[in-house]
A and B are shown apart, each in its own frame.
Chain A
Amino acid sequence: MTISLTVPDVLVARARTGDLEALEALYRAFETPVYNLARRILRTPEDAEDVLQETFLEVVKSIKHYRGEGHLWGWIRRIAASKALMRIRREQVRATEEFEESATRGRPTAHVGTNIDLERALQQLHETSRAVVWLHDVEGYTHEEIAELMGKTVSFSKSQLARAHARLRRTLEPGLEGA
């Protein structure tokens, strides 16, 4: 999904003052891309909704410090990505990656079915892999940016991306031999 939202400077200036109408206009302009980003990364709609709310509270709090460098969507997107990744890290405290991977590996391919679409294949990825593939291949983040957001190395981001694609390929085309 490509986002090319342009927001008038006057709207941003009013939002900086705490003008509720301007803040709502910003919310309406960006609620879908923020939710979409969070939903593509996170497991449940409820988590994505929470990230949407947390993101805009942060936007309201920090918009005074936004000086117009770069696109506003880029600034908001970074906040949203950071909130979503923070949520993944919290989840990982409760359930380790090894457990999650074994749980998804255990699902028989037959249950997935031959008509599985990309959305379902994406949902079956581990959250970290899903976050990396979405941020890199769809949102256009570099491995360096992803590594910084995740608090990991560039190599980690690269390996997660390859891992995500290998799994997507296996899920979407189970009859083919793995690359």
Chain B
Amino acid sequence: MHCTMDDLVAVRDGEGSAQVRRHLEDCAACRAELDALYQRVAQLKALPALRPPRDRWEAVRAEVVAAQRRRRSVWGTLSLAAAAALAGLIVFGPWSGGNTLHAELSQAKQRCSKLESALQQYDADARVVSGRSAALAAQLEDQIAAVDGRLSQLSPRGGRRTPEAELVDLWTQRATLMQQLYQVRVTRVSYVGL
């Protein structure tokens, strides 16, 4: 009985049974089928590459630009939300004797505000940066967005006492990240300790 195509494909892939291999040694017809299988695969691999009939880049680009705009909008909203949360906490903050924490918070906020102004004056699209600097900037923006997200979830309302230390820590993190972003964006320093 001759080999089936399952047998031949298994032999080609190094999985054929001993019985099938023995049969192939004795059967010229099945060996010819196996050779034809090898040839067919070689022909498949040699088929020319088919090229796209139309350029789809503009459609891809349009979606990418729209997504980037949405991302910037969300980033701006989160920054505003974080600022609003801070303002609320300063006015309605649950701590009364935490002058040191309050001072640290104000200082971090002022640093963020100055750095945001400096970064807004910087036209990122008009600069040429190295790949490493650009990757670091994107990473820092993501980290700032994550901190903003956490800040926006903190609220003095709702009966839950906001942990002051956490708030100060987040704003300090934000200020540090913005300082690093400023270094990467404006002075094009590619090493910020990341």
Residues of A in contact with B (beta carbons under 8 Å apart):
1-2, 9-14, 16-20, 23-24, 27-28, 31-33, 35-36, 39-40, 45, 48-49, 52-53, 56-57, 60-61, 64, 118-119, 122, 133-134, 137-138, 158-159, 161-163, 165-166, 168-169, 172-173, 179
- Cβ of B159 within 8 Å of any chain A Cβ, yes or no, is no
- Cβ of B65 within 8 Å of any chain A Cβ, yes or no, is yes
Q: Render B113-148 as a binary contact track against A, CB cut-off 8 A, 1 for contact.
A: 000000000000000001110110110001000000
Query: Does B47 contact A48, Cβ atoms closer than 8 Å?
Result: no
- Cβ of B2 within 8 Å of any chain A Cβ, yes or no, is yes
The one of A16, A27, A173 that contacts B135, using a Cβ cutoff of 8 Å = A16
The 3 closest A-B pairs by CB, nearest first: A13-B131, A10-B131, A17-B138
Query: Does B6 contact A158, Cβ atoms closer than 8 Å?
Result: yes
B191 to chain A, nearest CB (A): 15
Known A17-B135, A137-B44; contact A1-B49, beta-carbon cutoff 8 A: yes
A60–B57 CA distance with the chains assembled, in angstroms: 12
Binding stretch for chain A, among B33-41, B77-85, B88-96, B104-112: B33-41
- Cβ of B60 within 8 Å of any chain A Cβ, yes or no, is yes
Given contacts A20-B64, A162-B8, A179-B2, 17 further A-B contacts (CB under 8 A): A1-B48, A9-B131, A13-B132, A13-B134, A16-B138, A20-B61, A20-B65, A31-B56, A36-B49, A45-B53, A122-B47, A159-B6, A161-B9, A165-B8, A179-B4, A179-B8, A179-B30
The one of A24, A56, A137, A179 that contacts B33, using a Cβ cutoff of 8 Å = A179
A118 to chain B, nearest CB (A): 5
Query: Does A179 contact B44, Cβ atoms closer than 8 Å?
Result: no
Taking each of B9, B10, B36, B46, which has the highest tally of chain A beta carbons within 10 Å of its own beta carbon?
Answer: B9
The one of A23, A32, A33 that contacts B64, using a Cβ cutoff of 8 Å = A23
A56–B61 CA distance with the chains assembled, in angstroms: 10
A61–B64 CA distance with the chains assembled, in angstroms: 9
Query: Does A169 contact B60, Cβ atoms closer than 8 Å?
Result: no
Query: Does A122 contact B44, Cβ atoms closer than 8 Å?
Result: yes
A28–B5 CA distance with the chains assembled, in angstroms: 39
Known A162-B6, A179-B33; contact A35-B40, beta-carbon cutoff 8 A: no
A46–B60 CA distance with the chains assembled, in angstroms: 16
- Cβ of B3 within 8 Å of any chain A Cβ, yes or no, is yes
Q: For A118, what are the chain B residues with a Cβ–Cβ distance below 8 Å?
A: 40, 43-44, 47
Q: Render B161-189 as a binary contact track against A, CB cut-off 8 A, 1 for contact.
A: 00000000000000000000000000000
Known A122-B44, A137-B44, A165-B40; contact A64-B5, beta-carbon cutoff 8 A: no
B15 to chain A, nearest CB (A): 9
Query: Does B64 contact A18, Cβ atoms closer than 8 Å?
Result: yes
Query: Does A49 contact B56, Cβ atoms closer than 8 Å?
Result: yes
Between A and B, 30 residue pairs with Cβ closer than 8 Å are A1-B45, A13-B135, A20-B61, A28-B57, A31-B56, A32-B51, A35-B52, A39-B50, A49-B53, A49-B56, A52-B52, A56-B56, A57-B63, A60-B60, A118-B47, A119-B47, A122-B47, A137-B44, A138-B44, A159-B6, A162-B6, A162-B9, A165-B5, A165-B9, A165-B40, A169-B5, A169-B33, A172-B40, A179-B3, A179-B30
